């Protein structure tokens, strides 16, 4: 049986949604053929032009939509001279037309069941009329229960959302954080939910490394600061380059591709000043991006990072000590994730409002001689999702014991 899968991410801010879907595409391409007896291919629908830079498995491709960005007044076009409603309609019609031709067997929407401003509602209705299985994929933390409830209400209520879905996959470990128990997933959605484990083990490499790219990695030992997309990472970056490095260590700071150029220039200047003052001139390297972040995390003596899902998933696949400086603006997702994982000994976290360069200096000196055991946390979601997908397809294999232990 040949299987076609489509995955959607809206990508108004950052690349976390499309990166998560890309990891799923690789896992499905590698594992689903053995479960279905046929080939597997598909389409990743994304909303940021940088999403398409990373390669996909054979038989898969990107559909990059015209971009949207969030403003105080709602969403607006990133580049096109269109109003929000017109751009929504253009994106919705583009997705619908592509999927009418593709006729996917399975559709997975990341985080936002109806997309931006409801752009997926007609798409989902048409998919279900054609018999496509539909799934909502969620990171394990949404927000405070009150904020999550308001968001479901804003979509017409959780029961309406559930009526468009066959399943909800939550990419986390119920022993660490369970949104069914916190109230972030109302009963109608919780009944359809399965916690898969974190999407950590088996994440795909990014762009193939050339000798020039691989040379970004400092000679160990080094400490690493990684700030996700970087749009809101300037302040932790300033603190990180101002901290004094552990003796004999270098420092690689990856700002993220969406950090404003003027912030990056300022951070490079601060790094040069701090290195000269410490007598370690040239010890700190500031890069906008790197193609091999998971490998850099694994090889680092310790890492300072923000609390986005994908960065944390990459950290969790290693034994590298991590200090998480979560983003508090807009959502409480990152601090809630950081506190939950700190409570089970997977990482350390701090309040970004009170963090100082001296605090980072002390933490680096303490952490670089240690390793962190994360073997007690379920990190195998990328091995579970293909089996859950197989169960939704017309010819599926019996549930594997690894799947059944995640249910409930």
| DSSP class per residue in 156-220 | T-HHHHHHT-SEEEEES-TTT--HHHHTSS-HHHHTTEEE---B-TTPPP-SPPPHHHHTTSPSS
- In tens, the pLDDT along 330-377 reads 789 999 999 999 999 999 999 999 999 999 999 999 999 999 999 999
Q: Residue 395: its pLDDT value, please?
A: 61
- In tens, the pLDDT along 105-119 reads 999 999 999 998 899
Residue 336 within any structural domain of the chain:
yes
Residue 204 within any structural domain of the chain:
no
**Among 204, 121, 117, which residue's Cα sits nearest to residue 165?**
121
- In tens, the pLDDT along 222-234 reads 999 999 888 889 9
pLDDT at 73 over 80: no
pLDDT at 168 over 70: yes
Only one residue has tokens 């014991």, namely: 401
pLDDT at 34 over 90: yes
Q: What is the mean pLDDT of residues 139-161?
A: 97
Range scoring the smallest mean pLDDT among 7-16, 150-159, 232-241, 272-281: 7-16
Q: Say if residues 156 and 130 touch (Cβ distance below 8 Å).
A: no
pLDDT at 13 over 50: yes
Both 50 and 109 in one domain: the answer is yes
Any idea what the CATH number is for the domain that residue 352 is in?
Answer: 3.40.50.2000
Q: Residue 356: its pLDDT value, please?
A: 97
Both 159 and 221 in one domain: the answer is no
pLDDT at 196 over 80: yes
Q: What percent of the chain has pLDDT over 90?
A: 77
Both 37 and 102 in one domain: the answer is yes
The range of the structural domain enclosing residue 194 comes to: 3-198+379-404
Both 350 and 245 in one domain: the answer is yes
pLDDT at 317 over 90: yes
Both 80 and 141 in one domain: the answer is yes
Residue 177 within any structural domain of the chain:
yes
Q: Say if residues 240 and 227 touch (Cβ distance below 8 Å).
A: no
Give the count of domains, the chain.
2
Residue 205 within any structural domain of the chain:
no
Rounded mean pLDDT of the chain?
91
Residue 206 within any structural domain of the chain:
no
Both 179 and 69 in one domain: the answer is yes
* Strand residues in 299-367 grouped as ranges (E): 302-305, 322-324, 348-349
Residue 203 within any structural domain of the chain:
no
């Amino acid at each position: 049986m040949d299987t076609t899968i489509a995955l959607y991410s809206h990508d108004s801010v950052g690349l976390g949604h499309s990166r998560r879907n890309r990891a799923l595409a690789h896992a499905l391409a590698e594992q689903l053929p053995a479960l279905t007896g046929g080939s597997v291919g598909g389409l990743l629908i994304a909303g940021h032009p940088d999403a398409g830079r990373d390669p996909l498995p054979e038989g898969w491709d990107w559909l990059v939509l015209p971009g949207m960005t969030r403003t105080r007044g709602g969403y607006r076009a990133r580049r096109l001279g269109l109003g929000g409603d017109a751009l929504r309609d253009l994106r919705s019609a583009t997705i619908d037309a592509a999927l009418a031709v593709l006729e996917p067997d399975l559709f997975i929407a990341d985080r936002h069941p109806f997309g931006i401003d409801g752009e997926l509602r007609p798409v989902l209705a048409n998919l279900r009329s054609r018999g496509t299985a539909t799934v909502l994929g969620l990171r394990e933390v949404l927000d405070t229960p009150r904020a999550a409830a308001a968001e479901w209400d804003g979509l017409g209520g959780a029961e309406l959302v559930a009526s468009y879905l066959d399943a909800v996959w939550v990419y986390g470990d119920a022993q660490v954080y369970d949104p069914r128990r916190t109230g972030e997933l109302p009963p109608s959605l919780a009944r359809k939910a399965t916690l898969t484990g974190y999407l950590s083990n088996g994440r795909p490499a990014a762009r193939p490394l050339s000798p020039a790219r691989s040379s970004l990695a400092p000679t160990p030992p080094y400490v690493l600061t990684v700030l996700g997309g970087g749009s809101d990472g300037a302040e932790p970056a300033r603190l990180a380059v101002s901290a004094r490095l552990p003796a004999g260590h270098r420092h690689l700071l990856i700002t993220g591709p969406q950090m404003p150029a003027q912030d990056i220039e300022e951070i490079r200047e601060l790094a040069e000043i701090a290195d000269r003052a410490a007598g370690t001139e040239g010890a700190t390297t500031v890069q906008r991006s790197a193609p091999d972040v998971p490998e850099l995390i694994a090889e680092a003596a310790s890492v300072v990072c923000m609390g986005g899902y994908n960065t944390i998933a990459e950290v969790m696949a290693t034994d590298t000590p991590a200090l998480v400086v979560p983003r508090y603006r807009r959502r409480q997702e990152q601090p809630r994730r950081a506190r939950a994982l700190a409570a089970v000994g997977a990482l350390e976290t701090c309040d970004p409002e009170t963090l100082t360069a001296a605090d980072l200096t002390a933490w680096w000196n303490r952490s670089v001689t240690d390793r962190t055991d994360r073997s007690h946390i379920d990190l195998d979601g990328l091995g579970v999702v293909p089996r859950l997908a197989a169960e939704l397809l017309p010819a599926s294999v019996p549930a594997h014991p690894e799947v059944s232990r995640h249910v409930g």
